[in-house]
Structure 1
Amino acid sequence: MNWMEKELALFADASNERYLRDSAVVPDNPGYTWRGNRVLLNLASNDYLGLARHPAIIDTIREALLTEGGGSGASRLVTGNRPLYGRLEEALATWQHSEAALVFANGYMANSGVIRALVGRGDVVFSDQLNHASIVDGIVLSRAEHARYRHNDMEHLKLLLNKHRDKRRKLIVTDAVFSMDGDQAHLEELVALKQEYGAMLMVDEAHSGGIYGKRGEGLCFKLGLHHDVDVHMGTFSKSFGLYGAYICGSRTLIRFLVNQARPLIYSTALPPSLVAGISTALTLVKADHWRRERLNSASQLFRSSLSDAGFNVGTGDSPIVPIIVGENERALRFSEALEAGGIAGIAIRPPTVPDGTARIRFSLSADHTPKELNDASAQICKIGLQLGVLSS
């Protein structure tokens, strides 16, 4: 096993080794986190709507624990499919204006399981080069051909669709909002290409569900494209503040996945108390539009302040705001300086992002106030000047 030490040494030399560090909640201060024995403004969480510690969700989970127990005890196809699952899936389908829905343990399992179920040898998957790792791994597991198109380059995608037009099955898959850049997929053009070439279209709304749409239905719904998407995927680990994932689509799709999605078939079902908590979170996501409005205002304020200062923050409008610094070692120093200044902002390095694009990935929450974000922006600019990321 000595080869592992050699590999780790290479990671360290490239400023690319990862470490696990403890974090903890700060009582009565949801926008903050304990990290390294100090309280930090938490600009690194995906709890976009600030629901992770909502009292109604916690009360629901507590009550369900007393009646349902700690775990489901089996996979959903054995004895783990409690009635709570069916009620949640009906509510999800209604929310998304789809025929049916299916809950998975997490987004990684949903993406990898669904892609593997839909395509195989002799098929092709067209995937944006910045798609999440769970999508990439699902394609690898499927053994279908992987045709990666340049990020949001519809002409390149069209070229690849023409090249593979005679394949048995064709699947286009994309993030709706890209998790490390915060920009949006060109969904209208993807729908048009899907229709032109007879492909299936799968959209991952992990970082857009709960954020876009009057009731948080997501970016596809906001753009009026939800009926043109064959496979709609979302998670409960971001805007819902919990854990898990779902697929919405036709009844035929859901029946097929129940029989073919291996992560669903061979995994123990989510604890019923968590499923109950997700149902309460869904009610809050739909009803509390003020959370989306507050998050959107915070995102615009923070992004514009960093952009005006001269940082490269990309082109998105989401609560994901990256500062692209380039070198791994510089990103690590930036993150360390942020922590010393009272801000949790984590360095993201390859292979999560392409080589030469290491960054600090900020992600905002409805918990953050304008004053907190203005103060954080001033501190970030000060650090950027010290490290040479900004020029004076």
Structure 2
Amino acid sequence: MTSVLRFHFGYDYNFPGEYMSLLDKCASFTRHAELKNLGLYAYYTAFEAHGGPTVQLDGAEYLMCGSNSYLGLSVDPRVRLAARTAIDDYGTSFTGSRLLNGSSKLIEELESELADFFGKPAALVVGTGYQTNLAAVGTLLQRGVGDPKRIALVDQQAHASLIDGIRLSRSADAALRWFRHNDAEDLDRKLASCPADSETLVIVDGVYSMEGDICVLPDIVEVCKRYDTTLLVDDSHGAAVLADGRGTPAHFGLTDDVDLMTISFGKGIGSSGGVILGSDSLIQYLRHHARGVIFSSGLGPADAAAALEIVRIMREETWRPKRVLETADGIRRALSAIGYDTGVSSSPIVPVMMPGDAEVFTTWRRLMDLGVYTNAVISPAASPRLRTSWMATHEDEHVARAVAAFEAVRPCR
């Protein structure tokens, strides 16, 4: 079984000299079928009810230990009402790019609220979280005639959308240089080696989506200031969680030292879409140059209204981020006590490390048999693990149930 499971869901590379047509390449992909035949396929699970600490699947209830809805607000009655009202007022879509006919007072109100809440001068709402990073990074790194060479220095564990944003810049001179994860000294060395006439952009996550650790932002900011470089923080997993929801820069008191933030609404904010936050001049430039904005439909009314209502709730219900962090702390302690390795997590994301791919899928299956859903992660996303993530709406009984299940399957770790 182990040999069957040693693969990843990612890019496939042929052996030298091997040719496959476009459609033959697709037909040759059978790895998902292999796992399904073994009863171990852990992806594209079609839930019947979703959004809370428990979910429905094939008529049975499962404990959801893999949602990124950290505050548990995606199913809140106030949020549902706001989304329904927006559909009544606007319909299901704005049916056009924001540049032309797809903008609205609702989206402008959301941008104003987000900028104020996260402490930045201006905001630009984008249709999806992935698209948000493409728009921000791809546009900033584009090089015009006479512009200096542009170099992106990226943490090795930064999100894939940030890397794709660099590729989207379409500039052969927009070089990508990695620095070691959360290592400000390595960033310092890499910046020191950049040509003196180049422009540099440092890219980090606020909270890393697979390890669950927090960026060493004070050290990163210090290095960036030394080299007068631009700093982008993707705070999709820190926003709504740290600093009463205001995110990683606020957690360290460094909001003014971060040039731009990007946030996906599909995590703690509990909606869909994303936002870029920065100076007025930066946001105006992106409004008129970012391909992902000017050539794409605007965020839908229901999603915009849901995000707006959630931000307003976040202002008042500061117990939610406190609760989810306390829950995750308890999970880490409990899992460590029964022999699991949870890495360096200090956020609602708690990885449970596994020796290999086979153990990931077999342990995932055994947990499912006990009514507990987790996320099965293998290369290239990260080293083998079950990625768990926790919500403010998980009760103590949910936590106890999850820990008991992990203890029951412990020989498979």
What is the TM-score of this pair, normalised by structure 2?
0.88
CA contact (8 A) 1:84 1:272 kept: yes
Residue in structure 1 matched with residue 327 of structure 2 by the alignment:
298
**After TM superposition, which residue ranges in structure 1, 4 or more long, deviate above 6 angstroms?**
15-18
Name which of 28, 38, 48 aligns with 1:24.
48
- Structure 1 residues 326-335 or 173-182, which shifts more? 326-335
**Gap change, CA 1:11 and 1:273, over 3 Å in 2:** closer
1:136 aligns with 2:158: no
Residue in structure 1 matched with residue 374 of structure 2 by the alignment:
345
CA contact (8 A) 1:205 1:232 kept: yes
CA contact (8 A) 2:156 2:178 kept: yes
Q: CA deviation at 1:314?
A: 0.9
Residue in structure 2 matched with residue 274 of structure 1 by the alignment:
303
Residue in structure 2 matched with residue 371 of structure 1 by the alignment:
397
- In 1: Cα distance, 2:222 partner to 2:250 partner: 16
CA contact (8 A) 1:176 1:207 kept: yes
- In 2: Cα distance, 1:62 partner to 1:232 partner: 29
CA contact (8 A) 2:205 2:234 kept: yes
- In 2: Cα distance, 1:111 partner to 1:283 partner: 24
- In 2: Cα distance, 1:245 partner to 1:117 partner: 16
- In 2: Cα distance, 1:300 partner to 1:87 partner: 36
- In 2: Cα distance, 1:325 partner to 1:208 partner: 25
CA contact (8 A) 2:41 2:361 kept: no
Q: CA deviation at 1:100?
A: 0.7
Residue in structure 2 matched with residue 212 of structure 1 by the alignment:
242
- Structure 1 residues 286-295 or 45-54, which shifts more? 286-295
Unpaired runs of 5+ residues, structure 2, are 1-22, 144-148
Name which of 190, 207, 218 aligns with 1:177.
207
Q: CA deviation at 1:379?
A: 1.3
CA contact (8 A) 1:32 1:40 kept: yes
Q: Residues 147-296 of structure 1 correspond to what in structure 2 (within 5 A)?
A: 147-214=177-244, 216-296=245-325
1:3 aligns with 2:29: no
CA contact (8 A) 2:132 2:264 kept: no
CA contact (8 A) 1:72 1:270 kept: yes
CA contact (8 A) 1:8 1:17 kept: no
- In 2: Cα distance, 1:382 partner to 1:369 partner: 20
Q: Residues 11-160 of structure 1 correspond to what in structure 2 (within 5 A)?
A: 19-25=43-49, 30-120=52-142, 122-142=149-169, 143=171, 144-160=174-190
CA contact (8 A) 2:130 2:264 kept: no
Tell me the amino acid that sits aligned with residue 405 of structure 2. Answer: Q
Tell me the amino acid that sits aligned with residue 233 of structure 2. Answer: V
**Percent identical:** 29
- In 2: Cα distance, 1:328 partner to 1:128 partner: 25
Tell me the amino acid that sits aligned with residue 24 of structure 1. Answer: E
**Gap change, CA 1:167 and 1:140, over 3 Å in 2:** farther
Q: CA deviation at 1:253?
A: 0.4
Tell me the amino acid that sits aligned with residue 22 of structure 1. Answer: A
Q: CA deviation at 1:305?
A: 0.6
- In 2: Cα distance, 1:382 partner to 1:322 partner: 18
Q: CA deviation at 1:8?
A: 3.7
Q: CA deviation at 1:19?
A: 4.4
What is the TM-score of this pair, normalised by structure 1?
0.93
SS of residue matched to 2:152: strand
Q: CA deviation at 1:75?
A: 0.6
Q: CA deviation at 1:12?
A: 5.2
Unpaired runs of 5+ residues, structure 1, are none
Residues 129-171 of structure 1 deviation map (CA, whole Å, 9 limit, x = unaligned): 1111111111222241110111112222111111114252100
- In 2: Cα distance, 1:167 partner to 1:268 partner: 38
- In 2: Cα distance, 1:261 partner to 1:18 partner: 36
- In 2: Cα distance, 1:165 partner to 1:43 partner: 46
Residues 308-348 of structure 1 deviation map (CA, whole Å, 9 limit, x = unaligned): 22211011210100011031121011111110011001211
- Structure 1 residues 324-333 or 174-183, which shifts more? 324-333
- In 2: Cα distance, 1:370 partner to 1:187 partner: 32
CA contact (8 A) 1:165 1:197 kept: no
**Gap change, CA 1:44 and 1:10, over 3 Å in 2:** closer
- In 2: Cα distance, 1:81 partner to 1:240 partner: 21
Q: CA deviation at 1:7?
A: 4.2
- In 2: Cα distance, 1:254 partner to 1:113 partner: 11
Q: CA deviation at 1:193?
A: 0.9
Tell me the amino acid that sits aligned with residue 95 of structure 2. Answer: G
- In 1: Cα distance, 2:32 partner to 2:106 partner: 48
Q: CA deviation at 1:209?
A: 0.3
Q: CA deviation at 1:119?
A: 0.9
Residues 289-317 of structure 1 deviation map (CA, whole Å, 9 limit, x = unaligned): 11112112111111111112221101121
SS of residue matched to 1:148: strand
- In 1: Cα distance, 2:221 partner to 2:367 partner: 41
SS of residue matched to 1:285: helix
**Gap change, CA 1:363 and 1:128, over 3 Å in 2:** same
**Over the residues paired in the alignment, what is the CA RMSD in angstroms?**
1.9
